[in-house]
Structures are given as structure tokens and as C-alpha cells.
């Protein structure tokens, strides 16, 4: 049995007997073989990894000679097996500490409970003995493998500190302090150090350390500390119970303060008693209550103004919750039945808390645990609107005091009150004087004063229901010269006797019946059938099956009648009671409603496709929407416009998949999943990307379409790789290869995706092998676009492995082809690869113009990850060229971009800035460029 330890000075043993290898190439040869234990490594790859570009004579002969020497040193030939074209180290991966380290970290990321996660992290960290590959001479190991291992080690250590603090353990700050000094600009590490010092009762030392990092950031980057570090500093100055600050850590978060409250609704009349009751829960400003409340429940009938009151009060007290405000509409009474499940809600809240997608665990229990950990010890206001029942809201409750959860529901949620101690506030109908004030606010006090009796009659007829009053007020505002008495008479005819309880549907009908026939039909379709929480003008036109020009006027008519609300320019929504009413009308009057649903699916498929073309040119041709079908497709003038549409319509796109499944439009599901795949990747919605590809896979299997099935398997593999689930990714790629065994074109794309997954894992030799196989198959089938894409990847990996001349040649060939085919995302990526190779060769002046071209293209394509990565490369170039001011300017720009996206990437920039050499730049820029620059 062979054991190889690489996470420190090299230790080798065979059958328990230590083996001492002589200094030199044998150590590097064994290390390279060990990093691929159980897999064949080609002779060419071994030569490049061990000798770099300095190999003399016949490279393969050198490898053969040194393999023989290594076998003799190990005193057994069986441990290194010759394979066609290469060699295999016959060792279990778990007997190589670096590989075992990676496996344990992968398991830690996947387990659902913190106790098991901490155990896996501890086992992994115990393997670390110092600098990886200490005493081994290999540029490849030093430049590519060691930095990736170092980053995983630091991330794991930080996560274990978070878990220790959350469980009220007290980590030793000594090791953290040593690491912080070795990584002087890694803010995430310094944040943990300060929290650990505070938890150990050493706040003065924590304040001194803060000053150290603040001065370094100012001197090196001209930047202030992150918002989280600044808040931590303020908390340290404020003092408090020992350990309180330490438990405020946000494991995985990016430090931004969420401000999610929707705009306060105009026209809140009265409700003074209810507002006072809510204020009493918090006590006077500045007072620190011994046991602050956790949950307030606003319950009441539909349309009584629960959301209006909740949002108004939340804005009023937002300053009492300095860590932010979260808001989510759980759609508990959506007429379509599309209630937001707790698991989906938690993912949305984790997004709002700016948790990087790769740090969100699988499984609802693990995600709920992370959500509670993020809120532990913080002062946040969480508004959970339109809750159906206690089961829907219970997983969203923080685990400790300090936060206030404000819940609205039509139900009194007795279980929430009894089990969790929620403070119940029942919202009744508006008293007459407050209802009259609401009417006056909408119509003007003079108009009310002119006809006081008619105003009182309207108030009585609406029975104090704010939604009814708002609709009647809208009707009156549309006709400012009509006497209020006429409106009161119409209401009396509609509602009947005065002693009858208000029927809000009757008031809806009273307003609906005066609509033009075109507006009435549009109301039924848009309010009754639309997916998601809002509708664009183009979506409304598609539902109606008419040109866009013919829906603008009826949409404006519906907005004037308060049956739809234009909550953002060109986007319309309505109260769920109106949705239910419209849905009933649609069921009764629109026999063609399934045709309308088919059109809205077509609209989203074709519009998503049009938007995706701004981000990824290599999409299968999609036949345009058939003329005369009434499907409107949105055009986009820029990548930014396409991205903005995706951001706003993401919930609707996911809902559209469900509609397509109901209508058995499986081909549409496959097209939509393909269209949204790249943008969901680039914007960090990796869980959504995986779900859409699972839907596509199921649809393809129902269709019996092997091509769509393999495409879905590949895209699912890419999504799983983004999430760090590499074993599952490879399993899906294995399945894709099996299903396409007789289709070389499909196999080519599968090998290409295999190269991407290997690249994300840092397995560059394996990635090069997969890219080579993909390129050969693309060549065989005559797919020139695929050839061009893989040429770029081949150039990238050859450059990473030290063959710079071949890398430049391959990328130059690729660049010509990308320009020919108009593949701008890969053109940008290729410019970056070319520049990177020049930088590795010690030619920063040659790299500069190529990086500038890549930055310009990535900016045009609205790809912030790739833009930031390339800006950091550009900074490295300027530094090597001696222009330090320009270097720091580019590094600051990259830091700013990534501070809003992913702290792990920002930390990698910090690491680069500490060492100021190309090897550290490789450690940061290589993996990030592969992740962001290559369209997937």
C-alpha cells in the first residue's frame, strides 16, 4: 500500500515503511502522478508538469527514464503501471492526503447538519501540515495546484470558525492571527479573527487589529474595509456582552445590508391604534428590551389592507433594524394555487442575504439551517406577506431573538401564536371616519366637502374595506365631473340593501362592467392567467393574441380603474382577490384560455431565446413564432436590457415551465431550459438552473428525444458543477455519453462539458484530455463553431501547463474563427487567454492590449465576473510594466465589481495583491476566468 503526503513536506511510505526520495525531479514526478492517483496521466502531460518548458531532448524518453528511477526508489514496479500513452499510479485516492482533503471538503459542503459538517472540516484541516508540495520543484504544482489547495484550506478554516462561534465554542485566535498576517488583505479572514478575539474577551486587541487591516486596505488599494468589517468595528466600539458580537457572523454572506421593503403604499388612512400597538412591541427608540419580540401577526379578511399596514410600519421602524429588512410575498392565496413553498422562499431569502450560490447547501433542512445561522445575533426585520398557514411560515422563522418577523395572513394562525408566541393583531374594517379620510385623500377634500352625504353613503356601501374604497375612488377619479351622488346610487343598485355585508366581488363587477369589451377581456386574461407576479406589455399582448399597439390603451384603462396597478414602468400587477375574480370570469367566458396559455408559453420561450442571444450565440436555431398566432416577442437593444428582463421575469419563467408541463408542451420546456441556462449561470442562480434542467430532462424523456435528453444532462451537469457537486456532474455526463454513443456531434459537446467540469475542479490535465477529445469529434463532424470553442480551451490549458508557444498558436486560430462566426463571448474569452499566456511568458506589454480588448467585450456582454477577472489581470500587467498607479486602479475596479458578487473571488484578488507576482495572479485569475469567461 502506497501513501503519499503532499500537504507539507513530502512524506512517502510503502506498506508502512517510510521511503526517502532524492531531491529533484523524482519528487515532482511522484507528486504529479499522485494528484491523479488511479487515473492515467499522459507522458506529454508528465513532461510538461515536471520539466515545464525546460525539457531537453526527447520528452517521452526523459519520462520513461525517470519512471524507472522512481520505481527503483519505491522498490516496487507494480505501483506505477504503464498505460497506452502514459502512466498510472496504483494508489487509492484516499491514501494521497491532498485528494483525501478535497473529498472531505466536498462531503462537508454536502451534509445537511452543522455537527457533521464541522467533523468533516476538522478531519480535512488536520491533514494540513504546512505549505503544499514543500521542497518539490514543479512550476505546474506551484502555479496552479498549490494556490487552489490554499484557497480551499482558507475557506474551510473560515467556515469552521463560523460553526465554532455559532455553537458558542471559543477557537484559539493564535493560528488565525498568523494566517491573517500571511494574507494581509483577505478581509474575510480578518473578520473571523476580530470575532474570535472578541469572543475570547479581548475586544481591545480586536480594535487594534481592525486598525491594522484598515490602514493596509487604504495604503494598498485606496479602499475602505467592507461593510461587514465596518459594522463589526462599530459594534466593538459600542461594547456589549462578551461573545455577542462573535455570534453575529454571516457565514457565507457578502456583507451587504438588504433593503427589500417594497415602496410604502400611498393613502394609508387612519390605523393609528394598530400602528401604536406595533410600536409598543419595540418600545421607545433607544431602549434595549431584555426580551425583544420575535413575531407579529397581522390577520384580517382579504382586501382589508394588511400588506399596506405592514409595509407602512416596516418603513417607519426600519432604522431600528440596522442589519437590514427582508421581504417576500409567499402568495398564500394565489388563485392559481401557486403558493411559494418554504424551500423556494428560503432560497430567495439566501439570495437577498447575498450568499454565493456555491455556498448554498442542498436540501431544505440545510438551507433553513444556513438561513437561521445568518440571522443569528443580528437585528433584522423580516416581512412575510400573504402567508397561508403556519407550516408555510415556520421554516422561515429565525432561531433566536434580535430579529422581528412581521407576518400577514387572512388566517389567524393560532398555531403560530400558541407554538411560537406570535403577537396577534387583528385588522378590522376601517371605521367610518378613517374610511372617509381615505376617500378624501384619493378624491380631494373639497370634492368630499361639496357632497358630504354622498361621500358618507359610499363609505357605508364599501363597509370599511380599503380595497373596495380604492376601486370606487378610482372610478370617481376617472370621472371628476360626475356627482358623487350618482356613484352612490350605482353602488346601491349593485350591492342591494344597506344591511348586507360588503361583497367585494360585487364592487369588482361594478367597476368591471363599465370597461370596454377589449379591456374586460384583457383583464380576464392578464389578471387571471399570467404566470409570476406581474405582466409586461408584450406578455399581455401575447395573452390576448393581439399586437402590442392594441393593448396599451386597454391596459391604461384598467390602471385608471384600479383593476391593474402599474407598479413599475410597463409592468402590471393586481391584488390576489382581483386575480381570483378575473380567474373566475376567465373560466366562465373564455373558452380559448388554453390557447392563451399556449401563447404566453410561446412568448416566454421566444423572448428568453432572444435575450439569451445577447449572452450566448451558440444556441440551436429556434423557429420564429408563427405569424398570425398573436405571440409578441420582446426585442432587446443591449445585453444590459436582456439581463434586466431576465432579472424581472425569473419568477415568471419558472412558473412558465409549470404551465408548459400542464399543457404537455414538452418541446417548449426543453427550449426554455436551454435559453435560460447561461444567464442563470452568469447571474448566480445555480439552484434555479439545476431545477430548470431537471424539468427539461423529464420533458425530453417524455418526448423520447435522445438529443434533448443529452443536452439536458449536459446542462444539468454544468449546474451541478457550479454548485460543487462534481461527482453528480460526472454521473450525468456519463449518462449523456451512454445515450449518444452513436452520435459523434452529441458526444463532442458532452466531452466539452466534461472539460468545463474538470476545469472547475482544478484538474487541468483531465480537462485538456476532454477538450482534445471534443475537438477531434467536432473536426470529425465538421462543426466549425465547436472546433473554435475547443481551440480556445486547448490553448488555455496548454498555457496553464506551460506550453506557451502552442497556447498562443491555438488561441490565434480560435480568434479568427470566433470573429468569423460572430461568437463574441468566446472572442472575449480568447483575448483573455492570449493575454494571460503573454503575462506568463513575462511579456506584460504584449498582454496589455489583449486584456483591454477582453475587458471591453466582457463589459459589452454584461458579464461582471469575467470583467472583474480581466481587470485584475490588467492590473498585474501594469504592475509588471512598472505602472503601479494604473495597476492599483484596475485592482480597485475589480474589487468593487466583485464586492457585489462573490467574496471568495474578492479574497482571491486580495491574495494576488499581497504577493504582486504572476504566480499569485494565476491562482486568482485562472479559475475565475474559466468560470466566468467561458459561456456555458
pLDDT at 920: 32
- The confidence band for 710, taking pLDDT boundaries of 50, 70 and 90, is very high
Least confident of 112-121, 531-540, 870-879: 112-121
DSSP 481-515: TS-HHHHHHHHHHHH-STTSPP-HHHHHHHHHTTS
| DSSP designation for 95 | G
pLDDT at 566: 81
Average pLDDT over residues 134-155: 82
Q: Which of 58-62, 183-187, 525-529, 638-642 has the highest mean pLDDT?
A: 525-529
Comparing CA positions, the residue from 442, 408, 428, 424 lying closest to residue 262 is: 408
- Looking up cell 488561441, which residue turns up? 811
CB 565 within 8 A of CB 572: yes
- The confidence band for 917, taking pLDDT boundaries of 50, 70 and 90, is very low
Average pLDDT over residues 203-228: 80
Average pLDDT over residues 887-896: 76
Least confident of 29-43, 245-259, 549-563: 245-259
> Distance between CA 375 and CA 359 in Å, rounded?
16
Average pLDDT over residues 506-517: 83
Contact partners, residue 111, CB within 8 Å, separation at least 6 = 117, 120, 361, 366
- The confidence band for 125, taking pLDDT boundaries of 50, 70 and 90, is very high
Average pLDDT over residues 112-125: 83
pLDDT at 463: 72
Average pLDDT over residues 394-416: 85
CB 168 within 8 A of CB 58: no
Region of 233 (left: φ > 0; alpha: ψ -120 to 50; beta: rest) is alpha
| Gyration radius (Cα) of the chain, Å | 31
Cell of 302: 382579504
pLDDT digit string, tens, across residues 338-366: 788 888 899 889 888 877 666 677 777 77
- The confidence band for 496, taking pLDDT boundaries of 50, 70 and 90, is low
Contact partners, residue 372, CB within 8 Å, separation at least 6 = 398, 399, 400
Angstrom distances, CA of residue 734 to CA of 499, 699, 738? 71, 20, 6
> Distance between CA 75 and CA 167 in Å, rounded?
49
CB 622 within 8 A of CB 670: no
**Pure H helices in 167-240:** 173-182, 187-199, 203-221, 227-238
530 - beta bridge partners? none
pLDDT at 651: 87
- Report helix, strand or coil for 263: coil
- The confidence band for 923, taking pLDDT boundaries of 50, 70 and 90, is very low
- The confidence band for 653, taking pLDDT boundaries of 50, 70 and 90, is very high
Of 372 and 399, the one with more pLDDT: 372
pLDDT at 786: 92
pLDDT at 358: 61
**Pure H helices in 384-503:** 390-393, 414-420, 432-443, 445-450, 452-462, 466-478, 484-495
CA 280 to chain centre: 38
Contact partners, residue 392, CB within 8 Å, separation at least 6 = 330, 332, 339, 340, 341, 342
Average pLDDT over residues 11-35: 89
- The confidence band for 662, taking pLDDT boundaries of 50, 70 and 90, is very high
DSSP 525-545: HHHHH--SS-EEHHHHHHHHT
- Report helix, strand or coil for 881: coil
96 - beta bridge partners? 4
> Distance between CA 607 and CA 675 in Å, rounded?
9
> Distance between CA 320 and CA 504 in Å, rounded?
37
Strand order in the sheet with 11-14: 2-5, 11-14, 17-19
- The confidence band for 239, taking pLDDT boundaries of 50, 70 and 90, is low
pLDDT of 898 over the 70 cut: no
- The confidence band for 921, taking pLDDT boundaries of 50, 70 and 90, is very low
Cell of 339: 403558493
pLDDT at 568: 75
pLDDT digit string, tens, across residues 241-251: 555 555 444 44
The torsion angle over the Cα atoms of residues 368, 373, 375 and 378, rounded to 10 degrees, is 170
pLDDT of 872 over the 50 cut: yes
Least confident of 62-71, 228-237, 825-834, 865-874: 228-237
Least confident of 186-190, 565-569, 704-708: 565-569
Comparing CA positions, the residue from 297, 220, 312 lying closest to residue 266 is: 312
pLDDT digit string, tens, across residues 159-198: 888 888 877 777 888 889 998 888 887 887 898 899 899 8
pLDDT of 256 over the 80 cut: no
Proportion of the chain above pLDDT 90, given as a percent? 29
Least confident of 281-285, 610-614, 872-876: 281-285
> Distance between CA 420 and CA 407 in Å, rounded?
12
> Distance between CA 770 and CA 758 in Å, rounded?
8
pLDDT at 700: 95
- Looking up cell 400573504, which residue turns up? 386
CB 415 within 8 A of CB 390: yes
> Distance between CA 702 and CA 241 in Å, rounded?
60
Proportion of the chain above pLDDT 70, given as a percent? 86
Average pLDDT over residues 804-828: 91
pLDDT of 883 over the 50 cut: yes
pLDDT at 490: 80
pLDDT at 570: 85
pLDDT at 856: 92
| pLDDT, averaged across the chain | 82
Least confident of 20-34, 149-163, 623-637, 817-831: 623-637
pLDDT at 663: 94
pLDDT at 254: 38
pLDDT of 503 over the 70 cut: no
406 - beta bridge partners? 296, 383
CB 678 within 8 A of CB 687: no
- The confidence band for 412, taking pLDDT boundaries of 50, 70 and 90, is confident
Region of 92 (left: φ > 0; alpha: ψ -120 to 50; beta: rest) is beta
Of 58 and 916, the one with more pLDDT: 58
Average pLDDT over residues 802-831: 91
- Looking up cell 384600479, which residue turns up? 562
pLDDT of 497 over the 80 cut: no
pLDDT of 112 over the 90 cut: no
Region of 464 (left: φ > 0; alpha: ψ -120 to 50; beta: rest) is left
Average pLDDT over residues 411-421: 84
Average pLDDT over residues 548-564: 89
Average pLDDT over residues 429-443: 84
Comparing CA positions, the residue from 157, 155, 255 lying closest to residue 901 is: 255
Length of the chain: 936
pLDDT at 249: 42
Least confident of 424-438, 808-822, 843-857: 424-438
pLDDT of 10 over the 80 cut: yes
DSSP 587-635: HHH-TTHHHHHHHHHHHHHHHHHHHHTTT-S-----PPPPTTS------
pLDDT digit string, tens, across residues 280-313: 888 665 444 444 458 999 998 777 888 889 998 9
Of 269 and 478, the one with more pLDDT: 478
- The confidence band for 722, taking pLDDT boundaries of 50, 70 and 90, is confident
Q: Where are the beta strands (DSSP E) in 596-755?
A: none
Contact partners, residue 174, CB within 8 Å, separation at least 6 = none
pLDDT at 807: 92
pLDDT at 223: 64
Amino acid at each position: 500500500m502506497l501513501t503519499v503526503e503532499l500537504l507539507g513536506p513530502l512524506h512517502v511510505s510503502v506498506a508502512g515503511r517510510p521511503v526517502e526520495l532524492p531531491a529533484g525531479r523524482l519528487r515532482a514526478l511522484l507528486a504529479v502522478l499522485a494528484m491523479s492517483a488511479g487515473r492515467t496521466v499522459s507522458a506529454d502531460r508528465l513532461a510538461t508538469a515536471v520539466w515545464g518548458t525546460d525539457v531537453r531532448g526527447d520528452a517521452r524518453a526523459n519520462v520513461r527514464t525517470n519512471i524507472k528511477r522512481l520505481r527503483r526508489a519505491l522498490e516496487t514496479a507494480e505501483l506505477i503501471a504503464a498505460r497506452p500513452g502514459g502512466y498510472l499510479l496504483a494508489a487509492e485516492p484516499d491514501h494521497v492526503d491532498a485528494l483525501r482533503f478535497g473529498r472531505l471538503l466536498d462531503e462537508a459542503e454536502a451534509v445537511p447538519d452543522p455537527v457533521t459538517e464541522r467533523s468533516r472540516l476538522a478531519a480535512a484541516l488536520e491533514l494540513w501540515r504546512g505549505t503544499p508540495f514543500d521542497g518539490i520543484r514543479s512550476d505546474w504544482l506551484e502555479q496552479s495546484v498549490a494556490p487552489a489547495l490554499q484557497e480551499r484550506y482558507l475557506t474551510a478554516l473560515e467556515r469552521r470558525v463560523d460553526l465554532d462561534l455559532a455553537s458558542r465554542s471559543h477557537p484559539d485566535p493564535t493560528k488565525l492571527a498568523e494566517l491573517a498576517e500571511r494574507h494581509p488583505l483577505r478581509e474575510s479572514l480578518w473578520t473571523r479573527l476580530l470575532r474570535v478575539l472578541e469572543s475570547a474577551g479581548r475586544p481591545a486587541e480586536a480594535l487594534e487589529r481592525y486598525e491594522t487591516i484598515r490602514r493596509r486596505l487604504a495604503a494598498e488599494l485606496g479602499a475602505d474595509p467592507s461593510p461587514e468589517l465596518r459594522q463589526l468595528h462599530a459594534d466593538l466600539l459600542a461594547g456589549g456582552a462578551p461573545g455577542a458580537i462573535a455570534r453575529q457572523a454571516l457565514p457565507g454572506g457578502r456583507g451587504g445590508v438588504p433593503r427589500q421593503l417594497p415602496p410604502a403604499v400611498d393613502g394609508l388612512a387612519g390605523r393609528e391604534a394598530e400602528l401604536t400597538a406595533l410600536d409598543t412591541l419595540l418600545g421607545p427608540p433607544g431602549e434595549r428590551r431584555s426580551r425583544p419580540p420575535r413575531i407579529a401577526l397581522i390577520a384580517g379578511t382579504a382586501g382589508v389592507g394588511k400588506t399596506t399596514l405592514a409595509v407602512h410600519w416596516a418603513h417607519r421602524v426600519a432604522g431600528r433594524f440596522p442589519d437590514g429588512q427582508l421581504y417576500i410575498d409567499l402568495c398564500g392565496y394565489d388563485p392559481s394555487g401557486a403558493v411559494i413553498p418554504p424551500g423556494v422562499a428560503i432560497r430567495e431569502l439566501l439570495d437577498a442575504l447575498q450568499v454565493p450560490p456555491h455556498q448554498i447547501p442542498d436540501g431544505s433542512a440545510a438551507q433553513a439551517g444556513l438561513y437561521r445561522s445568518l440571522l443569528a445575533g443580528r437585528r433584522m426585520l423580516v416581512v412575510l406577506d400573504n402567508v397561508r398557514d403556519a407550516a408555510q411560515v415556520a421554516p422561515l422563522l429565525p432561531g433566536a431573538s434580535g430579529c422581528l418577523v412581521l407576518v400577514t395572513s387572512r388566517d389567524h394562525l393560532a398555531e403560530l401564536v400558541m407554538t411560537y408566541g406570535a403577537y396577534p393583531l387583528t385588522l378590522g374594517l376601517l371605521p367610518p371616519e378613517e374610511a372617509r379620510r381615505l376617500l378624501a385623500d384619493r378624491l380631494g377634500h373639497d370634492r368630499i366637502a361639496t357632497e358630504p352625504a354622498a361621500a358618507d353613503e359610499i363609505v357605508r356601501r364599501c363597509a370599511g374595506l380599503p380595497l373596495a374604497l380604492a376601486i370606487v375612488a378610482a372610478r370617481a377619479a376617472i370621472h371628476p365631473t360626475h356627482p358623487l351622488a350618482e356613484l352612490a346610487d350605482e353602488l346601491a343598485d349593485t350591492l342591494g340593501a344597506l344591511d348586507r355585508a360588503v361583497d367585494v366581488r360585487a364592487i369588482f363587477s361594478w367597476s368591471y362592467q363599465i370597461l370596454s369589451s377589449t379591456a374586460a377581456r384583457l383583464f380576464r386574461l392578464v389578471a387571471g392567467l399570467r404566470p409570476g407576479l406581474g405582466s409586461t406589455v408584450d406578455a399581455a399582448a401575447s395573452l390576448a393574441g393581439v399586437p402590442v399597439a392594441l393593448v396599451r390603451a386597454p391596459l391604461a384603462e384598467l390602471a385608471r380603474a384600479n383593476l391593474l396597478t402599474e407598479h413599475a414602468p410597463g409592468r402590471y400587477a393586481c391584488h390576489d382577490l382581483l386575480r381570483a375574480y378575473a380567474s373566475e370570469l376567465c373560466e366562465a367566458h373564455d373558452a380559448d384560455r388554453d390557447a392563451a396559455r399556449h401563447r404566453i408559453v410561446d412568448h416566454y420561450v421566444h423572448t428568453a431565446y432572444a435575450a439569451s442571444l445577447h449572452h450566448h450565440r451558440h444556441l440551436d436555431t429556434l423557429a420564429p413564432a408563427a405569424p398570425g398566432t398573436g405571440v409578441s416577442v420582446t426585442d432587446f437593444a443591449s445585453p444590459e436590457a436582456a439581463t434586466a428582463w431576465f432579472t424581472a421575469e425569473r419568477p415568471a419563467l419558472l412558473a412558465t415551465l409549470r404551465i408548459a408541463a400542464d399543457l404537455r408542451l414538452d418541446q417548449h420546456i426543453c427550449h426554455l431550459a436551454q435559453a435560460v441556462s447561461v444567464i442563470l449561470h452568469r447571474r448566480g442562480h445555480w439552484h434555479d438552473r439545476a431545477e430548470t434542467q431537471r424539468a427539461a430532462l423529464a420533458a425530453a424523456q417524455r418526448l423520447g428525444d435522445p438529443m434533448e435528453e443529452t443536452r439536458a444532462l449536459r446542462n444539468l451537469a454544468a449546474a451541478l458543477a457550479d454548485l460543487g457537486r462534481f461527482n453528480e456532474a460526472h454521473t450525468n455526463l456519463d449518462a449523456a455519453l451512454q445515450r449518444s454513443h452513436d452520435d459523434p456531434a452529441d458526444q463532442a459537446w458532452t466531452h466539452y462539458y466534461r472539460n468545463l467540469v474538470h476545469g472547475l475542479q482544478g484538474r487541468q490535465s483531465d480537462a485538456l484530455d476532454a477538450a482534445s477529445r471534443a475537438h477531434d469529434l467536432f473536426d470529425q463532424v465538421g462543426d466549425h463553431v465547436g472546433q473554435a470553442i475547443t481551440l480556445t480551451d486547448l490553448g488555455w490549458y496548454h498555457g496553464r501547463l506551460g506550453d506557451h508557444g502552442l497556447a498562443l498558436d491555438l488561441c490565434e486560430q480560435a480568434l479568427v474563427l470566433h470573429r468569423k462566426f460572430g461568437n463574441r463571448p468566446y472572442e472575449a474569452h480568447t483575448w483573455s487567454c492570449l493575454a494571460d499566456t503573454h503575462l506568463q511568458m513575462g511579456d506584460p506589454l504584449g498582454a496589455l492590449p489583449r486584456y483591454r480588448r477582453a475587458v471591453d467585450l466582457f463589459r459589452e456582454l454584461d458579464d461582471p465576473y469575467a470583467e472583474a477577472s480581466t481587470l485584475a489581470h490588467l492590473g498585474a500587467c501594469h504592475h509588471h510594466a512598472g505602472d503601479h498607479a494604473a495597476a492599483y486602479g484596475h485592482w480597485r475596479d475589480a474589487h468593487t465589481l466583485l464586492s457585489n458578487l462573490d467574496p471568495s473571488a474578492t479574497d482571491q484578488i486580495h491574495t494576488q495583491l499581497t504577493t504582486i507576482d504572476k504566480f499569485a495572479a494565476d491562482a486568482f485569475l485562472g479559475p475565475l476566468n474559466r468560470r466566468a469567461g467561458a459561456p456555458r
